[in-house]
């Protein structure tokens, strides 16, 4: 906290300021009758004025402890000088002035230096009483000692209250800053969530519609070539294409439904093994490309996100085999152990150029799916000479099995 703020807060201790000025005024009024007709009247009034000036500037010394010591020494000297000019009021007058200084010392100084100053004031009061009356009665000294302790405690209490208020203000400022940061983080999280949802829907549309439309285009091209020579086969291919387009329309509707209500996003109906088997059969029927399928007898129970990711990986892989591999056969294998499930798709085609494959949107989407689930997607060459795609996902802890 800045010095300016602390000065302002300490100066708001109007009760202590008012007590100091009223005490000064009371001592001045009490001393005036004794000064009438005395040659030192002007000097005493000047000393009272200097003490008043000191009371007016002490609030600016909080962050300058060395000046606080100078101030206290100066005010003590003024009080002693006044008491020397009005001897009969030495004991009471100087102690009353020093009561104010004891409160100010405890307000602006740490505990130990403040207590040292109070002891100093007690010693000055005792010496003033001794020189004025030769002796200071025990009852008077105990009363004066109690006054110093009371005013010192009052000053220390004000200091603690001020420090507590400053800490509260600092905590409030930090809380407001944290609140603003939290609002900024919340806004960023919302933007990231929107971006992630857009990416997810983009992957779904590409993986689902892209596969269906690719197969439909292949069938349409084949049917067009067979119309003159084999119209029955051409009609069969067109019928298969119609089924693919109907399925694509269904998936498009599911995606639009997810856009309107994310919690109702489309899932994978049935078990993963059943869905992959159906995918391989329809792909083989539509393209004429044989797909050798290898599935385990049982699969662990997987979360929907895992099953969709593996299914989309199989779908995208077969689509790429049809579009880019120029293959004669494909192999699709699904396996699992205690820690992970693995999908592998290979072909005997011409493979792919690594710099082109990694930049395909569908493969980028598969990598994102695998990474989000803590797995990995790898591309490489197959033993048969074509391409090999492998997605590995960790298996969460479950109790049942997905068959």
DSSP symbols for 101-130 = HHHHHHHHS-HHHHHHHHHHHHHHHHHHHH
Indicate the range of 8-12, 41-45, 267-271, 325-329 predicted with least confidence: 8-12
pLDDT, position 393: 94
Tens of pLDDT along 194-206? 666 667 666 666 6
pLDDT, position 213: 72
* Torsion-angle region of 329 (φ positive above 0: left; ψ -120 to 50: alpha; else: beta): beta
Cα separation values, 69 from 58, 72, 173, 389, Å: 11, 5, 33, 82
> Rounded to whole angstroms, how far apart are CA atoms 131 and 302?
98
pLDDT at 332 over 90: yes
Q: Is the pTM of this model over 0.75?
A: no
Average pLDDT over residues 31-35: 74
CA 62 to chain centroid, in Å, comes to 36
Domain 271-403 has CATH 1.10.10.10: no
Q: Which residue did the predictor score with more confidence, 131 or 288?
A: 288
Q: How confident is the model at residue 26 (pLDDT cuts 50, 70, 90)?
A: confident
Tens of pLDDT along 116-144? 888 888 888 777 666 655 555 666 667 77
pLDDT at 373 over 50: yes
Instruction: Work out the percent of the chain whose per-residue pLDDT is above 90.
Output: 8
pLDDT, position 260: 52
> Rounded to whole angstroms, how far apart are CA atoms 298 and 296?
5
Average pLDDT, the chain: 76
Which sequence spans correspond to the domains of the chain? 3-136, 271-403
> Rounded to whole angstroms, how far apart are CA atoms 137 and 124?
15
Tens of pLDDT along 154-210? 778 777 777 788 788 888 888 888 888 887 887 777 677 666 666 766 666 666 666
Dump strand ranges (E) for 205-338. Answer: 291-294, 299-300, 330-336
pLDDT at 15 over 60: yes
Average pLDDT over residues 232-260: 70
Tens of pLDDT along 39-67? 778 888 888 888 888 888 877 776 777 88
Q: How confident is the model at residue 262 (pLDDT cuts 50, 70, 90)?
A: very low
pLDDT, position 236: 78
pLDDT at 94 over 80: no
pLDDT at 334 over 70: yes
Q: Which residue did the predictor score with more confidence, 325 or 340?
A: 340
């Amino acid at each position: 906290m800045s010095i300016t703020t602390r000065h302002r807060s300490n100066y708001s201790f109007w009760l202590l300021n008012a007590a100091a000025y009223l005490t000064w005024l009371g001592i001045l009024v009490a001393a005036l009758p004794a000064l009438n007709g005395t040659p030192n009247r002007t000097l005493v009034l000047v000393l009272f004025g200097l003490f008043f000036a000191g009371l007016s500037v002490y609030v600016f010394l909080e962050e300058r402890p060395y000046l606080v010591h100078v101030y206290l020494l100066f005010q003590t000297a003024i009080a002693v000088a006044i008491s020397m000019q009005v001897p009969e009021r030495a004991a009471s007058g100087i102690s009353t002035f020093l009561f104010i200084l004891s409160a100010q010392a405890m307000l602006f100084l740490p505990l130990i230096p403040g207590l040292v100053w109070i002891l100093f004031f007690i010693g000055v009061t005792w010496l003033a009483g001794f020189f004025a009356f030769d002796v200071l009665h025990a009852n008077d000294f105990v009363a004066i000692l109690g006054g110093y302790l009371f005013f010192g405690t009052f000053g220390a209490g004000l200091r603690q209250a001020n420090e507590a208020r400053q800490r509260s203000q600092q905590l409030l400022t930090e809380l407001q800053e944290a609140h603003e940061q939290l609002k900024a983080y919340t806004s960023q999280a919302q933007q990231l969530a929107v971006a992630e949802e857009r990416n997810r829907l983009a992957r779904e549309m590409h993986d689902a519609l892209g596969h269906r439309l690719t197969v439909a285009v292949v069938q349409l091209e084949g049917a067009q070539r067979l119309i003159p020579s084999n119209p029955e086969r051409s009609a069969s291919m067109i019928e298969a294409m119609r089924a693919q387009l109907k399925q694509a329309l269904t998936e498009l509707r599911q995606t639009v439904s997810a856009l309107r209500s994310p919690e109702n996003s489309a899932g994978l109906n049935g078990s993963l093994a059943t869905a992959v088997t159906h995918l391989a059969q329809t792909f083989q029927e539509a393209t004429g490309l044989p797909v050798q399928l290898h599935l385990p007898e049982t699969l662990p129970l997987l979360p929907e996100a895992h099953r969709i990711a593996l299914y989309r990986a199989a779908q995208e892989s077969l689509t790429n085999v049809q579009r880019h591999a120029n293959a004669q056969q494909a192999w699709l294998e699904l396996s699992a152990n205690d820690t992970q499930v693995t999908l592998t798709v290979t072909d005997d085609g011409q493979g792919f150029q690594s710099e082109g494959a990694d930049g395909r949107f569908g493969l980028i989407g598969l990598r994102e799916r695998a990474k989000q689930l803590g797995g990995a997607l790898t591309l490489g060459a197959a033993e048969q000479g074509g391409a090999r795609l492998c997605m590995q996902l960790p298996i969460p802890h479950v109790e049942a099995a997905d068959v």
